[in-house]
Amino acid sequence: MSSDLHPNVPDTEYRGLVGLLPAAARPYALLARLDRPIGWWLLFWPCTWGVALAGGAVLRWDLLLWLLLGSVAMRGAGCVYNDIVDRDLDKQVERTRSRPLASGAVSLKAAWIWLGLLCLVGLGVWFQLNLTAKLVALGSLALVAGYPFMKRVTWWPQAWLGMVFSWGALVGWLAIEAGFSWAMMLLYAGSIFWVIGFDTIYALQDREDDALVGIRSSALRLGDNVRAGVLVFYALALASWAAAFWIVRPEILGLTALIPMALHLVWQVSSLNTRDGEDALVKFRSNRFAGFLMFLACLVLGQAG
């Protein structure tokens, strides 16, 4: 494949498995962001939190694998859909103008077909869920469909993304416990605040281009108060998760499971250089590890609760 199809973004892992694909297939892998696995990790972790906190991570380890496959496929489908909607805007932003649709490497018709195939994989995962989880999973489709338009109408598209990326916490919980729980809702709320925080950090990379083309983001809205804003969102996330943990196991000892996650989030905020896009990317990507720490906390509580 010619070098002009290499995405001009620092977080790509293009030279990994994607680089081994046949030349004709690589633009489709890039369109689904398969070269950037951080996205599906961040979609996957809330799913595991729901399963683990509900007490099903050990007995339903197979479900975790299905949810991983679903996260890869549906994150890819979401990216394809987003690029279909944003193909004209992407041409105006330095970091996104080389994306397959914006650059012309993939046609609009082919993108729609690729989107359909990814959704079929997601459908296969959907059939592994119980009825309650299936119905709730369907509810995410409206949120996914609306997300690409949020950056045009609100300064807080990160909040909408938080609802989308955190939906798996509800699905994961209900796949184990098919009934309403305040612990489930607080886990979901905490995940939303977490996503707002880390996606605000991610948006620091695009502040100048976003301002020029009229794209709105929490990073622009917060201005010089990004670090303080992210700290508030992370604090709200931890408070929500602590409340969820307390419902599952009302003991102070249970809350200590959150300490590693809390320390990691404090490190992110305290060391964040809001003027350095590369540092922002490092902090953003570290949330893959943060998600794992939260999974371990949910696993401990879920098995002990």
Judge whether 202 and 226 are in contact, CB under 8 Å. Answer: no
Q: Given a cut of 80, is residue 26 above it in pLDDT?
A: yes
The pLDDT tens digits for 219-266 are 888 888 999 999 999 999 999 999 999 999 999 999 999 999 999 999
Measured distance between the N- and C-terminal CA atoms of the chain, rounded to whole angstroms: 53
The pLDDT tens digits for 133-143 are 999 999 999 99
At 116, which amino acid appears?
A: G
Give residue 209's pLDDT band: very low, low, confident or very high (50, 70, 90). low
Judge whether 194 and 237 are in contact, CB under 8 Å. Answer: yes
At 195, which amino acid appears?
A: V
The CB density around residue 215, as the number of other CB atoms within 10 Å, is 19
The pLDDT tens digits for 66-125 are 999 999 999 999 999 989 988 887 787 777 788 898 888 899 999 999 999 999 999 999
Residue the block writes with tokens 């489908």: 77
What pLDDT sits at residue 170?
A: 98
Choice among 4-13, 47-56, 121-130, 219-228 with the minimum mean pLDDT: 4-13
The pLDDT tens digits for 253-267 are 999 999 999 999 999
Give residue 5's pLDDT band: very low, low, confident or very high (50, 70, 90). very low
Q: What is the mean pLDDT of residues 31-59?
A: 95
pTM of the model: 0.88
What pLDDT sits at residue 197?
A: 96
What pLDDT sits at residue 57?
A: 95
Contacts with 192 (C-beta within 8 Å, 6 or more apart), sequence order: 159, 162, 163, 166, 237
At 59, which amino acid appears?
A: L
Average pLDDT, the chain: 89
The pLDDT tens digits for 142-200 are 998 888 888 778 888 899 999 999 999 999 999 999 889 999 999 999 999 999 999 99
Closest C-alpha to 99, from 109, 91, 107: 91
Residue 83 has which token pair? 């690029």
